[in-house]
C-alpha cells in the first residue's frame, strides 16, 4: 500500500506455517518529545518482543 502523494509504504506478505512479514517505510519519522536519542540521532527504544501467544 502507498499513501497518495508520498513514498510512504506498508506491505504484508503471508508465508506457509502461519508466518507474516510486515514492512513499513517512511522518509521521515517523528518520536514523542522526551524520547531518548543515541549519539547518531537514532531513538533508544526498548527491545522488541513478540506477544506471549506468538512466542513458541
CB 36 within 8 A of CB 44: yes
pLDDT band at 32 (very low <50, low <70, confident <90, very high): confident
Res 27: pLDDT: 84
Query: Residue 30: is its pLDDT beyond 90?
Result: no
0.75 cut: is pTM over it?
no
Amino acid at each position: 500500500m502507498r499513501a497518495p502523494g508520498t513514498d510512504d509504504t506498508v506491505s504484508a506478505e503471508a508465508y506457509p506455517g502461519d508466518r507474516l512479514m510486515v514492512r513499513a517505510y517512511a522518509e521521515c519519522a517523528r518520536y514523542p518529545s522526551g524520547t531518548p536519542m543515541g549519539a547518531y540521532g537514532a531513538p533508544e527504544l526498548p527491545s522488541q518482543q513478540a506477544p506471549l501467544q506468538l512466542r513458541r
